[in-house]
Chains A and B, each alone.
Chain A
Amino acid sequence: MQHAILAQGLYKQFTRYHANKPTTLQEAILRGLRRMKPIDQFWALRDVSFSIEPGRMVGLIGRNGSGKSTLLRLLGGIGRPDKGKIRTYGKVRALLDLGVGLHPDLTGRENVFVSGVISGLTRREVQQRFDSIVGFAELESSIDNPLRTYSTGMRLRLGFAIAVHTSPEILLLDEVLAVGDLSFQRKCLDRINQFKAEGCAIILVSHDESQIQQLCDEVIYLREGQLVAHGEPEIVIGQYVAEISNRTHQRTPQEHLTSTTESGIELRLHENRFGSLEMQITNVQLLSAAGFTVKELHSGDALQIEIEYSAPQPIASPIFGVTITREDQLACYDTNTAATGQATPTIQGQGKITLHLKRLDLNSGQYYVNVSIYESEWNYAYDHHWHVYPLLIRQSGYEKGILSVPHQWEFDNAQTLAHRGH
């Protein structure tokens, strides 16, 4: 069978320059040309070989800096490999940056033409697909208004609509499936499936392993520029996840240390505590809205989670996370400082961080508040307290399910019943 993509022994070298490499001629002359020279070189990709058949959707996973983006670029024909061959058969299109070339001062119509041509269509092709693009973006009524009057969502829809009308034979996707509302996402996924059915090979880079598992037919796993595995999604993703948790386990000190938190709970390493302990969670307090320590709450009450930590050495932007799990380990709620885009500074010494949950609409039952601190790239945990802090939720009525949603029932035909009573 004819391949869509064929990569053989790919090597790509990157050059690291001096941190203050001159970017202007003025600086270069003032500081001397020495700094122009690279200080070291490293391989972003090493001996990567694979082939992808048309009509397959392939997930690309790996930590940050593992070479995913480099590989994606080479596939897009941007830059050249230092060694090895890369062959792509057919038109390569990418959804890496949505809406390239969109300009706020031009109308939607003008933008469709500019952006369509930039994404590889001729003017005639844009003309033929124009109605379909506008229809897909659901912008029929505002297509002749300037783009600056559009909302962010409308712009993204327009960008995506143009992109999916380029009839690619190879499509590169970089975590862009989170565009717009659910129905629009559905439409995008349908479109992607349609591409697949037409024989388009699709490469998807995502941090969301579950999304990759759902969508992809095969998965490529890169580690430090090398291809570790290429195969069935379940197996490769399994290996990837196992390696991440393994790294945490490897870094967890070997002695079975036991310590007690300030509130008197025993922490046993390897049992309810994991992590390298470079940074430690020294105490966790669950507080009610009034600020009292609580072990139980009514459904719908507010909860504050106070995390005290200590870092003997400076730690660069650690990620704090809280997960609320049910007794059977089902995660009911999960959040972290990275997910909300909160930048944590470099931390040293002791401190406290508090998570405010405005209301906790969980059904009655026994829960645990799990608290963790992760390395800034999620590589491993510094400290993770698992099923250490119990929380009992009480609820007056009886309901099934995970959530207990504030609600009321309302009859619409109550009046007719009243009439009959007379």
Chain B
Amino acid sequence: MASSRYIKKSLRRDQVHQIQYIYDLIRELVGRDIKLQYKRSMLGIAWSFVTPLMQLVVYYFIFRLVLSLDIPNYAAFAFSGMLVWTWFQASLFRGASSITDGRELIRQPGFPVAILPIVAVTTNLVNFLLSLPILLLFLGNEGGWLKPAFALLPILILIQFLLTLSLTYLVAAINVTFRDTQHILGVLLNLVFYLTPIFYDTDTIPAQYLQAFHLNPMTYLIEAYRTVLLEGALPGLLPLLFLTLMSLGLLFGTYRIFRRASYRFAEEL
């Protein structure tokens, strides 16, 4: 009996060690990606918000001054949508090639392949968090620096993380068989970008198309982010709960597909 208890204890210690190990591995790989991203560029860390800022200037010019969309605090409005979208898009893009680029890692015994998509999503989460202060500047411009509703942000981030990760598992696995997945993904994401209310508001969408727009989970997410950030209000909880459950279900499914495909990775690469 004593020995079985000992075995149980050491098993638990092994599990704790394994969890610690996975955490360290993600931390080192994300750290490496972030460091590499900034190491050799002159502007360094500034790159993570210079690009969306430049985009913002263009959108501001076109949609506020040329097309004169009537949206209050347009800069903060468009910038929040762009940041959320950039995290989503960059993760999928990076994640698609995470397996094909990680060939030597996969051939390492005991390497948990499933963390590569997690690393891709987490790296871009860090970039997202790094540009949040700029968004706060835009918000401050219109009065409201910090609102109590901001406490909900971590939950929205978690939901987006789950949703993005579930899709990343799928594209990462497909890209091993079809190496042009990344390009096709680029085209698709570009289309979805325009079909997502990033620089326009859902109010301007004609009523008969509105339902179709709400088939896109990113529409919900961006609206929820804006409710919290711009209005300082609570987003509708039911859609969020639904989104969470959907993301979890999707993650469960795509993770299984990924796992099953992962036995072939070493042979196909």
Of the candidates A75, A118, A123, the one whose C-beta lies within 8 Å of that of B111 is A118
Give the CA-CA distance A28 to B266 in the complex, in Å: 22
Assess the A28–B178 pair: CB atoms within 8 A. Answer: yes
Q: Does B25 contact A (CB under 8 A)?
A: yes
User: How far apart are B27's CB and chain A's nearest CB, in angstroms?
Assistant: 7
Assess the B109–A110 pair: CB atoms within 8 A. Answer: no
Q: Does B39 contact A (CB under 8 A)?
A: yes
Assess the B178–A80 pair: CB atoms within 8 A. Answer: no
Assess the B179–A24 pair: CB atoms within 8 A. Answer: yes
Assess the A79–B180 pair: CB atoms within 8 A. Answer: no
Q: Does A113 contact B (CB under 8 A)?
A: yes
Number of A-B pairs whose CB atoms are under 8 Å?
89
Assess the A25–B29 pair: CB atoms within 8 A. Answer: no
Q: Are A118 and B25 CB-contacts (below 8 A) given A25-B178, A79-B263, A79-B267?
A: yes
Q: Does B20 contact A (CB under 8 A)?
A: yes
Assess the A122–B20 pair: CB atoms within 8 A. Answer: yes
Chain B 154-188 interface mask (CB, 8 Å, partner A; 1/0): 00000000000000000000000111110010000
Assess the B108–A122 pair: CB atoms within 8 A. Answer: no
B36, B110, B178, B181 interface centre (most CB from chain A within 10 Å):
B110
Q: Does B243 contact A (CB under 8 A)?
A: no
- Which A14-52 residues have a C-beta within 8 angstroms of B? 14, 22-26, 28
Q: Does A156 contact B (CB under 8 A)?
A: no
Q: Which residue of A lies closest to B184 (CB)?
A: A25
Give the CA-CA distance A114 to B39 in the complex, in Å: 16
With a cutoff of 8 Å between Cβ atoms, the chain A residues found around residue B266 in the complex are 73, 78-79
User: How far apart are A116's CB and chain B's nearest CB, in angstroms?
Assistant: 8
Q: Does B201 contact A (CB under 8 A)?
A: no
> Which segment, of B42-50, B90-98, B99-107, faces chain A?
B99-107
Give the CA-CA distance A100 to B28 in the complex, in Å: 13
Assess the A123–B40 pair: CB atoms within 8 A. Answer: no
Give the CA-CA distance A123 to B266 in the complex, in Å: 26
Give the CA-CA distance A97 to B266 in the complex, in Å: 14
Assess the B32–A123 pair: CB atoms within 8 A. Answer: no
Q: Does A77 contact B (CB under 8 A)?
A: yes
With a cutoff of 8 Å between Cβ atoms, the chain A residues found around residue B27 in the complex are 123
Q: Does A119 contact B (CB under 8 A)?
A: yes
Assess the A123–B24 pair: CB atoms within 8 A. Answer: yes
Q: Are A106 and B32 CB-contacts (below 8 A) given A24-B178, A122-B20?
A: yes
Q: Which residue of A lies closest to B113 (CB)?
A: A78
Of the candidates A22, A78, A122, the one whose C-beta lies within 8 Å of that of B106 is A78
Assess the A92–B109 pair: CB atoms within 8 A. Answer: yes
Number of B residues with CB within 8 Å of any CB on chain A: 32
User: How far apart are A107's CB and chain B's nearest CB, in angstroms?
Assistant: 10
Q: Which residue of A lies closest to B32 (CB)?
A: A114
With a cutoff of 8 Å between Cβ atoms, the chain A residues found around residue B21 in the complex are 117, 120, 122
Give the CA-CA distance A75 to B109 in the complex, in Å: 8
With a cutoff of 8 Å between Cβ atoms, the chain B residues found around residue A24 in the complex are 178-180
Give the CA-CA distance A352 to B31 in the complex, in Å: 57
Assess the B105–A92 pair: CB atoms within 8 A. Answer: no
Assess the B28–A113 pair: CB atoms within 8 A. Answer: yes
Assess the B110–A120 pair: CB atoms within 8 A. Answer: yes
The secondary structure that dominates the A interface is: loop
Q: Does A230 contact B (CB under 8 A)?
A: no
Give the CA-CA distance A232 to B197 in the complex, in Å: 72
Give the CA-CA distance A80 to B259 in the complex, in Å: 12
Of the candidates B24, B31, B35, B110, the one whose C-beta lies within 8 Å of that of A92 is B110
Q: Does B17 contact A (CB under 8 A)?
A: yes
User: How far apart are B252's CB and chain A's nearest CB, in angstroms?
Assistant: 22
Give the CA-CA distance A154 to B173 in the complex, in Å: 36
Of the candidates B17, B104, B181, B264, the one whose C-beta lies within 8 Å of that of A100 is B104
Give the CA-CA distance A110 to B36 in the complex, in Å: 11
User: How far apart are B20's CB and chain A's nearest CB, in angstroms?
Assistant: 5
Assess the A122–B109 pair: CB atoms within 8 A. Answer: no
Q: Which residue of B lies closest to A105 (CB)?
A: B39
Give the CA-CA distance A123 to B29 in the complex, in Å: 12
Give the CA-CA distance A117 to B31 in the complex, in Å: 12
Q: Does A165 contact B (CB under 8 A)?
A: no
Chain B 78-90 interface mask (CB, 8 Å, partner A; 1/0): 0000000000000
Give the CA-CA distance A114 to B180 in the complex, in Å: 29
With a cutoff of 8 Å between Cβ atoms, the chain A residues found around residue B35 in the complex are 106, 110
User: How far apart are A28's CB and chain B's nearest CB, in angstroms?
Assistant: 7
Assess the A14–B109 pair: CB atoms within 8 A. Answer: no
User: How far apart are A71's CB and chain B's nearest CB, in angstroms?
Assistant: 13
With a cutoff of 8 Å between Cβ atoms, the chain B residues found around residue A120 in the complex are 21, 110
Give the CA-CA distance A376 to B30 in the complex, in Å: 44
Q: Are A105 and B40 CB-contacts (below 8 A) given A78-B266, A117-B28?
A: yes
Give the CA-CA distance A22 to B104 in the complex, in Å: 23
Assess the B32–A77 pair: CB atoms within 8 A. Answer: no
Give the CA-CA distance A77 to B108 in the complex, in Å: 9
User: How far apart are A371's CB and chain B's nearest CB, in angstroms?
Assistant: 40
Q: Which residue of B lies closest to A113 (CB)?
A: B28
- Which B1-39 residues have a C-beta within 8 angstroms of A? 17, 20-21, 24-25, 27-29, 31-32, 35-36, 39
Assess the A101–B105 pair: CB atoms within 8 A. Answer: yes
With a cutoff of 8 Å between Cβ atoms, the chain A residues found around residue B107 in the complex are 73, 76, 78, 96-97, 100
User: How far apart are B254's CB and chain A's nearest CB, in angstroms?
Assistant: 18
- Which A47-86 residues have a C-beta within 8 angstroms of B? 73, 75-80
With a cutoff of 8 Å between Cβ atoms, the chain B residues found around residue A79 in the complex are 263-264, 266-267
Q: What are 7 A-B pairs at a CB distance below 8 A? A: A23-B178, A24-B180, A92-B110, A97-B107, A114-B29, A118-B111, A119-B108
Instruction: Give residues in B with beta carbon < 8 Å to A.
Output: 17, 20-21, 24-25, 27-29, 31-32, 35-36, 39-40, 104-111, 177-181, 184, 263-264, 266-267
Instruction: Give residues in A with beta carbon < 8 Å to B.
Output: 14, 22-26, 28, 73, 75-80, 91-94, 96-97, 100-101, 103, 105-106, 110, 113-114, 117-120, 122-123, 172
10 more A-B residue pairs beyond the given contacts A76-B108, A110-B35, A113-B28, with a C-beta to C-beta distance below 8 A: A23-B178, A26-B180, A73-B107, A77-B109, A96-B107, A101-B32, A114-B28, A117-B25, A118-B29, A120-B110
**A-B residue pairs, 7 tightest by C-beta:** A76-B109, A24-B180, A25-B178, A117-B28, A123-B24, A78-B266, A92-B109
